[in-house]
Amino acid sequence: MTTVPPTEISSNPVVKTPSEQLVNAVERSENVLHNAANDHDFDKIFAALSGGNDSSVALEVAFQSNKIELDGIFFMDTGINVTQTKEFVKSEAERRDLEFHCAGEEYALEQEKYENLVKTYGFPGQPIHEAMFRNLKDKRAQRYLKQYTNEGQKIGIISGVYMDESENRNEKIGNDPIEEKQSATWISPIYDWLTETVDEYRNVFDLRENDVTAVLHTSGDCNCGAFGNRKELRDLLAFYPEAAEEIRTLERQVAKLASHRQIPVEYALWCHGQTKDREIKAKTDPAQEALTVNENEEGIYACEGCERRTQEYKVAGQAETPWEAYLRSDTHSLTATVAAYCTECDIVVHDGRKHREEVHPDASAKPSDGDIRRIPSRNGDMGFWRITQGERSTKNPEGKICCGPFEHHNWVDHDGHNGVARRKCEDCGAFEVPYKYPDQEPDEIFPMTAAKTPEDQYTIPLKTNEAKTISIDDDQTTLGKTA
């Protein structure tokens, strides 16, 4: 057996003698790097670093090798990560005098950003992990690398993928450590290592560990929540409160959408662990399937083994956030029963939730499908007319109405098939609808019940009269019953 001197494996101080297994593993990695360099005339080679231990080992193996020369470190910024992980990756580039390359949200479409994804589909579960990976990492990486491939440059990417680490990645990388994609050639020098070999390499040659990985036992580069344990929020709150607060803020917004049946309740919480049919529907939604860089382009496999942390979460026991408690409370139930306007039926209903269940039971969470708009009472006291919630879109993700009183809307005439809504705002998508019948008492809400079908309508006279404002505080998400 040929012995590899420790200095050829790592420049770090040796704390232990490497085992024969480790020496042989490094020799195999050298062969992979040798073959990659010989078979491909690379213009640049980057090491993809997530901040986790596996990619750190692959980086160090490639950096110490005399078979290739690294030109930089490549980080995929998901937009939902622990900031300290990105700082760790930057520092690893600096200490090796390598360029830091980052494919962030500037390389994503608005529809592909995590915030907009969860406000449209709810938080992801295991079945759509791959779709989230494509949106948050894969597409961004491919678009970033196109600046080189469009100039005819050949790019090599060092990956920390290895078969023993993840069943998911094992299935995808096969037996070939060198994979040619349209955007780059991905090289996995440790592809056939065992987990114990990775751990020994780090231990023997004292590799620096990302503090986030040490604390959370994951790299922290992607907190999408498709896998994992909901109780991980406790660790985030304790050690990385900024990352936790970002998730809590999104939970507040998604929980409010769930209150109005725009998103099913079971998908309103981060790390919910649900694996129901709707997840598959979301994964195969044409709007998402169309969001590709190139329809013939193959994806990359650089996401560390999330499935090892899978644990289905049941909405029971201790509430990890106020919004989890809110979804169990009477406040959540009452919020959904305010007067609302159905854009498809062009009617006003007492109970938006019941109307959706009875008239649009197959509607998805997409705003355009079975869209039920709240009618907040405080959106201007205009007597007979009220302004609905705005339309959710990439420009207006929370469905807010325009700032200021109703005259600030950019109104255009609107003629729904039942003649209820008379105007629509071109900017925020809100409708102007009747508050009540002219011949009703002031305290009576417009009497379209959920049981009414689109064919069973009243004729609405375009007449204004004074009406008492009914107080419905739709933005309050404090616990307990509403007044």
pLDDT digits over 317-349, tens only? 678 888 888 887 766 665 556 678 888 888 887
Per-residue DSSP letter, 382:
B
Q: What is the pLDDT of residue 482?
A: 27
Q: Has residue 353 got a pLDDT over 60? A: yes
% of residues, the chain, pLDDT over 70: 67
Q: What is the pLDDT of residue 261?
A: 66
Higher pLDDT, 50 or 287: 50
Q: Has residue 48 got a pLDDT over 90? A: yes
Q: Has residue 462 got a pLDDT over 80? A: no
The three-class DSSP label of residue 46 is strand
pTM: 0.67
**How sure is the predictor about 31, in pLDDT bands with cuts at 50, 70 and 90?**
very high
Tens of pLDDT, residue by residue over 258-310, are 876 678 788 899 988 765 444 444 444 444 433 333 434 444 445 544 443 33
% of residues, the chain, pLDDT over 90: 40
For residues 66 and 29, what is the distance between their CA atoms, to the nearest angstrom? 12
Q: Has residue 212 got a pLDDT over 60? A: yes
Q: Are 339 and 444 in contact (CB under 8 A)?
A: no
Q: What is the pLDDT of residue 458?
A: 32
For residues 215 and 386, what is the distance between their CA atoms, to the nearest angstrom? 51
Task: Note the maximum CA span of the chain.
Answer: 97
> What residues contact residue 74 under an 8 Å CB cut-off, 6+ apart?
46, 47, 48, 49, 101, 102, 103, 141, 157
The distance from CA 255 to its chain's CA centroid, rounded to whole angstroms, is: 15
What does the mean pLDDT of the chain come to?
A: 75
Q: What is the pLDDT of residue 312?
A: 39
Q: What is the pLDDT of residue 9?
A: 44
Tens of pLDDT, residue by residue over 382-435, are 456 788 888 876 667 777 778 765 568 888 999 888 888 889 998 888 898 876
Tens of pLDDT, residue by residue over 70-107, are 999 999 999 999 999 999 999 999 999 999 999 999 99
Structure tokens at 321: 């956030």
Sign of CA dihedral 371, 258, 313, 221: positive
Q: Are 119 and 91 in contact (CB under 8 A)?
A: no
Q: What is the pLDDT of residue 146?
A: 92
Higher pLDDT, 150 or 473: 150
Reply yes or no on domain 6-325 having CATH 1.25.40.10: no
For residues 456 and 448, what is the distance between their CA atoms, to the nearest angstrom? 9
User: Residue ranges of the domains in the chain?
Assistant: 6-325, 337-483
The distance from CA 53 to its chain's CA centroid, rounded to whole angstroms, is: 23
